[in-house]
Amino acid sequence: MEGKEEISDTDSGVILHSGPDSHTTMMKDVKTHTRVMKLKQQSLEDRLKMCLVELKKLCIREAELTGHLSSVYPLLPGEKPPQIRRRIGAAFKLDEPSILHRTENSALSSVEADLALQQQIYVAAQRLCQEEHLSKGVKRSRLQQYQREERKLKDLQEAVFRLRLEHGRSSPRPGIITQRGASDDSSLSDSAVLEEDELSSQLSSEPPSAPAVDFYPPPIVISHVAPHAPVGPSYRPLQPLSYQTPPQSLESLHTCQSPENDPAPIQNSPWTESSLDQPYQKMKRSPSVKSSPSTPTLPSIEVCLADAGIPLQIPTHAALKHTQSCSAPSTPEMHLRRRQSLRLPITEPNHYQPEPVRGRLKGPRRRLTEFAVSSSDYSQMRLNVGNPVYYSSSEDSNSEHSFQSYASSPCQEHPGELPWTHQSQYGYQYASLADNQVPQRCSPTHFYKNTQYQSSPSFTRGYIEDGWGHALEMDSGRSYVNHQAPVYSSNGHYEYYCEALPSQQRSCRLLPAHVKLSRAPSLREYPHHPSRGLPRQVVSEELKSWHQRSQFRPPRPQSLDRNRQGALRIRNVPGQESPLSLSQHHRYQEQQVVLRTPDRLYEDESEVASQV
Amino acid sequence: MSFIPGQPVTAVVQRIEILKLRDGDNLILGFSIGGGIDQDPSQNPFSEDKADKGIYVTRVSEGGPAEVAGLRVGDKIMQVNGWDMTMVTHDQARKRLTKKKEDVVRLLISRKSLEEVVRQSMMQR
């Protein structure tokens, strides 16, 4: 018994029942047990081996795809990591239409299909060629293959071109080789087969030419080839066909490899602590947070409008703009500007004195646009919406204008610049207007000088049509003090504005898109888009200043005659004489048309020019 | 405290009840917080996982209500009065914690030492 117990103790912890059985049975038991264990171990080891083999296979496959052997590749003590041959450009998708629709135009389409195929082979060969870390022999052979493929491609291109000419298509069909969206999962073997087919069908065995650097034609260069050239078996005219594929594929590769990281919706602000011993206050606004801009400024506009008794179509517009421009820094600036503009009419009687202020006012804007008369910017853009109807398209200046006209409570008071311009440019449209109300300043020449858009006639026309008055008005209102010029000449205008309002409202939303669509290049030129939040500022500026002036200014008669004599610009800067006795309509005290003497004009023009 | 997105998170939390101290109009909690989904989590000195955008206790004033309640620097606040604090902005967390009409805040906090203690006790079992 003792012996048995000893055995059971020594025997690897397996508890054996030391029964009345003999020693031999015990031994047998142990033996069978160990055998079972060994078998189990064996099977486990086999399984492990299988798993390792599988892992190896997977690793190699991965390495073939990625080009790097993964670190988990199981290496036996003396084993070397396997050589990985990466498959480059092995998988591709052929242009289906050119393959599938062979029937219709047999000769041509078959050649086209061949060409599409050859295109792929060519690209693949090119990529193989560009692979790094190759031995010399491999590199040379690949280079040769690449050259072969290139030659074949050229031949095919020529053939296709000739066939197309025969078929009456003088220019290569541009969309024919538009394959290459995604490379499917076809493996290397497929393409190899295809390639062989191609090779055999081509029966072209060119002597390998010397390895040369110029065998890597940059795809960009190819793509720059003029889309067409005269006939002839030369290589050039065929290029348009060939360029379509390589760059695209390269690009798609790039994008696949480095997908853009979407910016996080919430921007991280630096880590901060906040003590909870103080009551919660909203002061903690991180500068980048989007909500900051909207709140402070909007109410003020609403207030302005409420003061003026205006329906709130502008705020929505402003809000729209605002949401578009989420740059927080704009807000304080705007505040500042507004304040300045408010102060101006009172403090500076002459609009030429406030030069520094003016400069300051313009400063930020000029930075943005390099185009100082930013207001005309607006109108310009708006004009370009291309709406022939007068005001419906130009929303910003319009809205401003209209609300100014609203602001003047009696109907007879109107900001007048707008009608003037219209009169001048389109007298027929305002037949009811007296001729003497046409100011000289609206002469086309001046206009051209003033604006920078001579280049595009359509634009200038639109500008004249709809916006010049606005532009000027806004311009003066903004960069100079505030001009306001409620020189409304006829009631008809007022009515007109009233009518225009709804359409403006409607157009407000659409505008930015319109602008972008219609005048992309110029927008780029003048990056400072109305959506920067300026319109609101301008609007409120004008409104406020207008109100202030209306409070402080005694009514002044104004004469258009003087205007006619020499003033190209109308500045309604308080303190300047040259009142226009325009008519029965306006008793707007605040508004003054500044008579500009020629030198003044010149000065102004030069200034404008310098601001360009 | 790491987690797999989409999987339920298990965390060892401690319940802490802080009685706000009234100082005139002020309610004093006696601690500071940092973090939130709007802050750069990598600068958080207290988090293990530097991608963790949770709210962390960064300061506990001596003798303050928070210390009395057992809050410690480095605790991660999981909930405040039942409101989740693991996916809130910094300001939202502040708001929740400093409600004027609430004199008591009940926090669920997780702390590394807590987790370790629990783990050990489970291992021993």
- Looking at this predicted complex, what is its ipTM? 0.75
**Nearest-angstrom CA–CA distance, A499 and A494:** 9
Residue of A266, A276, A286, A292 to mutate when probing chain B, most B C-beta within 10 A: A276
Structure-token match 């500044």, residue found: A594
For residues A453 and A436, is the Cβ–Cβ distance under 8 A? Answer: no
Is the pLDDT confidence value at A391 over 90?
no
* Residue of B43, B61, B64 lying closest to A271 (CB–CB): B43
Strands (E), A181-230: none
For residues A508 and A401, is the Cβ–Cβ distance under 8 A? Answer: no
Q: What is the mean pLDDT of residues A443-466?
A: 42
Is the pLDDT confidence value at B95 over 70?
yes
For residues B44 and B56, is the Cβ–Cβ distance under 8 A? Answer: yes
Contact A276 B61 (CB under 8 A): no
Rounded to 5°, angle at Cα B16 from B15 and B18: 155
Q: What is the mean pLDDT of residues A571-588?
A: 45
**Nearest-angstrom CA–CA distance, A185 and A564:** 78
**pTM more than 0.80:** no
Contact B34 A274 (CB under 8 A): yes
Query: For residue A525, with 0-12 CB atoms within 10 Å meaning exposed, 13-18 middle and 19 or more buried, which class applies?
Result: middle
Is the pLDDT confidence value at B69 over 50?
yes
Nearest one of A544, A543, A536, A547 to A298, comparing CA atoms = A536
Q: What share of chain A is helix, strand, coil (3-state, %, to 5)?
A: 60, 0, 35
Is the pLDDT confidence value at A155 over 70?
yes
Please give the pLDDT value at position A93: 58
Per the model's pLDDT, the better-predicted residue between B77 and A367 turns out to be: B77
Contact A271 B100 (CB under 8 A): no
Question: Scanning every residue of chain B, which has its alpha carbon at the shortest distance from the alpha carbon of A273?
Answer: B34
For residues B17 and B104, is the Cβ–Cβ distance under 8 A? Answer: yes
Please give the pLDDT value at position B106: 92
Sorted by sequence, the CB contacts under 8 Å of residue A4 that are 6+ apart come out as: A16, A18, A23, A26
Contact A268 B38 (CB under 8 A): yes
Nearest one of B106, B93, B99 to B66, comparing CA atoms = B106
Contact B30 A279 (CB under 8 A): no
Please give the pLDDT value at position A260: 44
Which domains are delineated in chain B? 13-123 (2.30.42.10)
For residues A293 and A328, is the Cβ–Cβ distance under 8 A? Answer: yes
Tell me which of A137-141, A204-208, A301-305 is least confident: A204-208
Please give the pLDDT value at position A48: 93
**Nearest-angstrom CA–CA distance, A293 and A330:** 8
Please give the pLDDT value at position A42: 95
Query: With an 8 Å Cβ cutoff, is A288 touching chain B?
Result: no
SS3 at position A7: helix
Q: Please list every residue in chain A whose beta carbon sits closer than 8 Å to the beta carbon of residue B41.
A: 268, 271
Contact B95 A273 (CB under 8 A): no
B56 confidence band (pLDDT: 50, 70, 90): very high
**Nearest-angstrom CA–CA distance, A151 and A556:** 86
Q: What is the mean pLDDT of residues B46-74?
A: 89
Question: Scanning every residue of chain A, which has its alpha carbon at the shortest distance from the alpha carbon of B59?
Answer: A275
* Contacts A–B by Cβ distance under 8 A: 70
What does the pLDDT look like over A471-492, one tens digit per residue? 444 444 344 444 444 444 444 4
Contact B33 A289 (CB under 8 A): no
Q: What percent of chain B has pLDDT over 90?
A: 26
Q: Please list every residue in chain B whose beta carbon sits closer than 8 Å to the beta carbon of residue A280.
A: 94-95, 98-99
